[in-house]
Amino acid sequence: MNKFRIPLMLALGVGLGVAGGYWYAQRASPSPVNAPIAGPAAAAERAILYYRDPSGAPFWSTGPKKDQQGRDYLPVYDDAEPSFDSARAKPQATKGARKILYYRNPMGLPDTSPAPKKDAMGMDYIPVYEGEGEDDGKTVKVSLDKIQRSGVRTEMVQQRTIVQPMRAVGTVQYDERRLTVITLRADGYIEDLFVNATGQSVRKGDPLFRLYSPDIQTAQADLIVSSGIKANSPQSVGYQPMQGTMQRLRNLGVPEARIEEVRASGTNPRTIDWPSPATGTVIYKDVINGQRVTAGAELYRIADLSNVWVIADVAEGDLADIKPGTHATVTFRAYRNQLVEGVVTFIYPEVRTETRTARVRIEVANLDERLKPDMYADVVFQVETNKVPVTTVPTSAIIDSGKRQIVLVAKGEGRFEPRPVKLGRRGDGHVEIVEGLREGEEIVTTATFLIDAESNLQTALKAFTQPEAAK
């Protein structure tokens, strides 16, 4: 009995396997009863896209083919194409009534297929349906789930007033109107030096040095003589009138107080203590004790530092927005936490060819004299606009390739239109749109790179498939 049991079980197993295979094939294949009966005319009108495995396995062929069991692959027509779900191994419903144009690489590579296919990693190619991805060649379509995952945000185009702070760098310079040069109008000798160091502070009227000058001595003597002689008297013959001698001393630069002292006292002092004509700081000194000085030689230069200039280098393209009277905020690198307010008083009439910048003068008060010449300064000009609202978008919405600028206009349902625009002023995180958008349109402000990449991909795929379509 046992010797017949094993052959009998083998025979039953083979029979069941054949029957099971037949049953699986019948379930995987469309039922002949439910299949539409198409005549020769209908078959001629229906185009075959590809052929699929009759058992429902994930295998396809571009032409007629048989499987390992000798069964014909089943044709898939363009008007009733099932999409295959390899995870559940059964046909799925078609995506509406739209026609599948081709299948694209799931990794975004420029590789397409007319039939379902897997890439080297086993990922299914993605079907591209007719009308998907573009609208009259102007829009790009992105799946809604991809939009949600990527954090795409949109915003309405609005009217705003652009406030455009303009930045520049500069340096502290002397106020040229507050510089004083000390010179003599007669030759002489320095007998004593009271201000003998550069950087020393002086006040108006303080003595700078003690001077002996033969020319001044002679003029003082003439003043004494003319002061004691009455006009039209016999003694006045050959002598200059008093007013003439006083004017001569003024021409030699002698202070008025010294002239009155000589005339009133009738004495002729040999030396004179030369007073400072201005208050400030000695920034140049070219005199030493005992030196012989000549008329016209510069002995001192005094600068009043209570007011200084900040000379800022402004780019040539920004000059149109700056004018005298424009307010500026200056930050000095030595005092970064202390802002100083100033006003533009002059724009120099030349542009430097090396840097294509123009110099702009800003006047700044310096009562405590903490600002030193040649200090670096960071300048922010508070450019006043015409306060007329203009069409603006956030700066993040602009995709700038260098040669052109575009924004992505949201059309709804995952459709976006890349639109070229012309830009104007920038300020407060927004940019003026001179041309290309209207108020109320919705534009993408974040994750613009995703939609831009999708647009470039679809353009590349379209160009890639055009030769095939032409054939």
Domains, the chain, in order of start with CATH, read: 147-161+388-470 (2.40.420.20), 165-175+305-382 (2.40.30.170), 185-296 (no CATH)
pLDDT tens-digit map of 131-179 = 554 445 567 777 666 766 767 788 899 888 877 778 999 999 999 999 9
Residue 143 is predicted with a pLDDT of: 67
Collapse the DSSP code of 28 into the 3-class scheme (helix H, G, I; strand E, B; otherwise coil) and give the result: helix
CA distance 424 to 404: 13
List the helix and strand counts (H, then E) for the chain.
7, 31
- pLDDT value at residue 39: 47
Positive or negative torsion for Cα 320, 326, 327, 331: positive
For the sheet with 188-193, list strands across it: 272-275, 207-212, 188-193, 292-293
- Fill in the amino acid letter for 198: T
Distances in Å between the Cα of 185 and the Cα atoms of 202, 247, 259, 272, 292 are 22, 14, 16, 14, 13
Tokens 């026609």 locate to 99
Strand boundaries in 213-334, DSSP class E: 272-275, 280-285, 292-293, 298-303, 307-315, 327-332
Backbone angle region of 136, left / alpha / beta, with phi > 0 → left and psi within -120 to 50 → alpha = left
Give residue 4's pLDDT: 41
CA dist list (Å): 338 to 10, 330, 343, 375: 98, 9, 17, 14
Contacts of 7 (CB under 8 A, 6+ apart): none
What is the distance between the alpha carbons of residues 112 and 117, in angstroms, rounded to a whole number? 9
The rounded radius of gyration (Å) of the Cα atoms in the chain is: 48
Buried/exposed code over 207-237 (b: 16+ C-beta within 10 A; e: otherwise): bbbbbebebbbebbebbbbbeebeeeeeeee
Instruction: State whether the Cα torsion 236-239-243-246 is positive or negative.
Output: negative
Helix or strand holding residue 70 (H, E): none
Check: CB of residue 184 under 8 Å from CB of residue 293: yes
- Of 247, 203, 253, the C-alpha closest to 226 is 247
Q: Which of 366, 441, 365, 429 is nearest to 398 (CA)?
A: 429
End-to-end CA separation in angstroms for the chain:
71
Q: Decide: 361 and 342 in contact? Cβ < 8 Å.
A: no
Distance in angstroms (rounded) separating the CA atoms of residues 203 and 161: 51
Could you state, in chain order, the average pLDDT of each consecutive group of 10 residues for the chain (471 residues)? 41 38 38 42 62 76 84 77 42 54 72 83 78 57 69 85 84 96 96 95 96 95 80 50 88 93 91 96 96 96 96 91 90 90 94 94 93 94 75 88 84 80 84 90 78 59 49 41
